[in-house]
Amino acid sequence: MGATRRQLLKYGSGLAVTAVAGVGWRLLVAPSPSRELAPVTELATRLFERLSDGNHEQAFVPYDHPLRQFHNRGVDTGGILAVGLDYKARSILTDLFHASLSPVGRSRVPNQLLLEVPGVHATRLLFAGTPHDKHFQVHVTGPHINLRIGGRNLEAVAFGGPQVYGDQRSDGEIGLPNNIYRYQLELGQRLYGALTPAERGMARLSLAPPQTAVEVRGAGVSFDGIAVADLSAEKRKMARAVVAGVLENYREEDSAYAWECIAKGGGIEVFHFADYKQDFQGGRLAGDGASQIFRLESPAAVFHYRGEPHLHAFFNVAMDGEKPLSLGEALAVNPNALDVEGVERLFESVMLEHGGVDFAFYPRNSVAGRLRAGMIRSGDIYNLESWKSTIEILEVRGRDVDGAIAARLSTAGEKLQDTSTYRIATIDWAANHPKNYGLTNATSIDGGNSLRETTISYLKRSGFAA
């Protein structure tokens, strides 16, 4: 789900039109980074002070705002379009982007497809807190990028939260030739290739979890794949190399803290390594060799590499897996952790109560993660419903319901009458692609309410089912 490549290219064309109609070539040509980059905090301060009063209002949230926890790829994460800033501000933002990366990272991350030409023009800028405060964070988000700048936060999470990056080069091609991050694929496949047949049997799973599911889960849960501790010393070095290949793209101060977190949690030995036959959202099946989707996960860190059909990568590293990043208003205590099916049921319960409908349907391939047990805050829901979906009410006759929706109803013991008319609550993605889920001749009769905000209100009012 999320923006398609066609939509993103259309978005980029829109920026070009805006540029021509606006102030000309300085919007068409992205600023280049300075030869000498100032420190991150200095650049962030200069950028914040450069913003006009109106820009401050759009580009700022308090430090404890749930948006600081939110992550996804290609989804509006709040803030102001960088292309709307003046040229000096965009030049500072360009320097800030590059200063948050290592020298080798500067040769990669800014050159991702859909970023290499428009540069920061394709991004949004959001400050959580101000650089004048002791703690702040800058989010630079856009197509396949959710870059957090400002380092560790009060909650002792590396980079201040999950990082997201990606590249669409070699879309759909085996081996991702010419992809910016192909080297990471090679590191993961090298590890898989070194495993014995028995070890591969333990590492290989049928279906990957959602790519966005990088919440740290703490101890006492089962992780996919094979325990790195059970591998030989040489293979453990290979697993460490996979993590190093990701962290090497970021400035030394930030990557060093990530390594400190990993060491505090027990090192690479507490990770599990998994390789997957197929992506969570479907697509091509891997053959007998290493796939293009793999995951390294420990109680306090997750590295998820999804190279099918192109690259989306997410990672999250905390100092303490029992104290994950959780921001915003306290909503309710969740008695039991929710997996994919549990998240489905939660959102369907929310839509049923909200819509006054006969039944609700939340697409399984839209589930963005899991939800831990314990106190849940609004930021946790921002992540759990990170597609920014709206609730849509459809009307359809029983004989026009088939596919995934009919299968879900059958599992629940529901039987529809062919000639009866039913109201279905679902999300905008399913409403806009009804045939994908088994609906024909469906009529939209209401919609537009945020599922995220409706869920927050529901949990404050009703809490979680025991």
Give me the mean pLDDT over the 44-48 stretch. Answer: 96
Is the CB of residue 346 less than 8 Å from the CB of residue 462?
no
> Tokens in use for 16?
């070009």
Specify the pLDDT at position 13.
40
How far apart, in whole angstroms, are the C-alpha atoms of residue 337 and residue 125? 33
Distance CA 294, CA 275 (A): 4
Is the CB of residue 128 less than 8 Å from the CB of residue 62? yes
Q: pLDDT band for position 76 (50/70/90)?
A: confident
CA dihedral (89, 92, 93, 99) in degrees, to 10, reads -170
pLDDT in tens, 199-230: 999 999 999 999 999 999 999 999 999 999 99
Asked if omega into 309 is within 30° of 0 (cis), the reply is yes
Residue 24's pLDDT is: 55
Average the pLDDT over 116-144 and give the result: 93
340-355 vs 451-462: helix axis angle to the nearest 10?
90
pLDDT tens across 244-277, in order? 999 999 999 999 999 999 999 999 999 999 999 9
Q: Under a CB-based contact definition with an 8 Å cutoff, are residues 228 and 272 in contact?
A: yes
- Cα–Cα distance, 284 to 176 (Å, whole number): 14
Residue 272 vs residues 204, 231, 234: alpha-carbon distances, Å: 12, 10, 16
Predicted TM-score (pTM) of the model is 0.92
Q: What percent of the chain has pLDDT over 90?
A: 83
3-state secondary structure of 145: strand
Strands 60-61 and 374-377: unpaired
Residue 26 is predicted with a pLDDT of 57
DSSP E strand stretches across 203-328? 204-207, 226-227, 272-278, 293-298, 301-306, 311-317
16 CB-contact burial (10 Å; exposed 0-12 / middle 13-18 / buried 19+): middle
Q: Which token pair is 274?
A: 């998994």
The CB-side HSE value for 311 (13 A sphere, CA atoms) comes to 27
Q: Report the DSSP pairing between strands 272-278 and 226-227.
A: antiparallel
Calculate the average pLDDT of the chain. Answer: 92
What confidence tens digit (pLDDT) does each residue in 362-405 have?
999 999 999 999 999 999 999 999 999 999 999 999 999 998 99
> Six-digit token pair at 190?
């090298």
Does residue 338 have a pLDDT over 90? yes
Looking at the predicted structure, is the pLDDT value of residue 3 above 70? no
Interstrand relation of 145-149 and 390-397 (parallel, antiparallel or unpaired): unpaired
Lowest model confidence (mean pLDDT) among 11-15, 125-129, 131-135, 354-358:
11-15
Total residue length of the chain = 466
DSSP label at 65? -
pLDDT of residue 1: 38
% residues pLDDT > 70 (the chain): 94
Residues 165-188: pLDDT tens digits? 999 999 999 999 999 999 999 999
